[in-house]
Amino acid sequence: MAHSTDKASALQQGVIIFVYLAVLTALEFGVAAFVPNLILLAAIALFKAGLVVYYYMHIYKLGQDDSHLDREGYDYRANTNRLGLWLFLISDAFVFAALLITRFNLWGMTRPHLNQTLGLAVTSVLLLSSFFMNRAETCMAHGDRKAFLRNTLLTIALGTLFLVGVVGLEWRLAHEEGVIINQNKFGAVFYMMTGMHAFHVLTGVLFLLLVFRNALRGVFSAERHWGVEAAAVYWHFVDVVWIFFYPALYLIGTLA
């Protein structure tokens, strides 16, 4: 599917990608429940991540030719900033990769008793937040500030709901199931993985609040909105991390 540039097509493409992500998440849940297969679950997660990275994070922009741009101009500086942001995210990804490796090293093909319904619910909430973040960025890129503010506010609300679901509910329920941070390998890994991810979601929410405030002040426009793009890319990165964490924590392995 080619990348869309006009507003209506870009918004429609965002909807299509979200539908793909929702269907794949449901398929992922079904595979784990009825025909558990590590390779298939990994393939689904990789495909979901690829959709987000290309269509929502716009990784293809890294390959854009900027030789014709004024080196003192806004667009050239935005391209440079974009490369710096991606380098930061790649370095951050190594931290999450290390946590995933730790999970499989310590848990093997087992997993603790976690609330499957809640796990699927918070995953759906985070995917939905990425959908609205994509719409927000698209709207600002086409000069629709009002729609940007509305969609950004929805993203912030969903990100906050995700934090409540994980930190406020899942941590308590996991503790009741014996997943305790200082008593067993399941607790040590579970709280480290979800805690590190929740910290990034929190920083993402704060980032979006700052962008929202600046948008209210008229800082961004269709031609100058690097701050919006940076916030969107960071938010989608947090979503990509959870795309891998969700099956690793909730779906892969047999109950211990």
Q: Report the domain count for the chain.
A: 1
- Distance (Å, rounded) from C-alpha 207 to C-alpha 32? 35
Residue 210 lies in a domain: yes
Residue 144 lies in a domain: yes
The predicted structure's pLDDT at residue 222: 93
Confidence of residue 4 (pLDDT cuts 50, 70, 90): low
Task: Decide if pLDDT at 69 tops 90.
Answer: no
**DSSP letter (8 states) at residue 141:** H
**Structure-block tokens of residue 185:** 């390998």
Q: Which domain holds residue 99?
A: 7-255
- Distance (Å, rounded) from C-alpha 185 to C-alpha 183? 7
Task: Decide if pLDDT at 88 tops 90.
Answer: yes
The predicted structure's pLDDT at residue 213: 97
Burial (CB count <10 Å: 0-12, 13-18, 19+), residue 19 = exposed
The predicted structure's pLDDT at residue 2: 67
Residue 2 lies in a domain: no
The predicted structure's pLDDT at residue 25: 98
* pLDDT 10s digits, 169-225: 999 999 999 999 988 999 999 999 999 999 999 999 999 999 999 999 999 999 999
CA distances (Å), origin 142, targets 101, 176, 187, 199, 211: 41, 49, 46, 31, 17
The predicted structure's pLDDT at residue 119: 97
Q: What are phi and psi of 184, to 5 degrees?
A: -155, 165
pTM higher than 0.75 for the full model?
yes
The predicted structure's pLDDT at residue 122: 98
Task: Decide if pLDDT at 1 tops 80.
Answer: no
Give just the sign of the alpha carbon dihedral 101, 105, 107, 108. Answer: positive
CB of 4 closer than 8 Å to CB of 54? no
176: Cβ contacts below 8 Å, ≥ 6 apart: none
Q: Taking CA 88 as the corner, what is the angle to CA 200 and CA 164, rounded to the nearest 5 degrees?
A: 5
Q: CATH number of the domain that 223 lies in?
A: 1.20.120.80
Residue 212 lies in a domain: yes
CB of 140 closer than 8 Å to CB of 220? yes
Helix axes 38-51, 7-34, angle to 10 degrees: 170
Task: Decide if pLDDT at 81 tops 70.
Answer: yes
* Averaged pLDDT score across all residues of the chain: 95
Task: Decide if pLDDT at 67 tops 90.
Answer: no
Mean pLDDT of 92-113: 97
For the ranges 115-129, 171-185, 192-206, 234-248, the lowest mean pLDDT is seen at 171-185
The predicted structure's pLDDT at residue 63: 84
Residue 41 lies in a domain: yes
* pLDDT 10s digits, 133-143: 999 999 999 99
Residue 142 lies in a domain: yes
Residue 126 lies in a domain: yes
CB of 215 closer than 8 Å to CB of 145? yes
CB of 7 closer than 8 Å to CB of 142? yes
The predicted structure's pLDDT at residue 76: 85
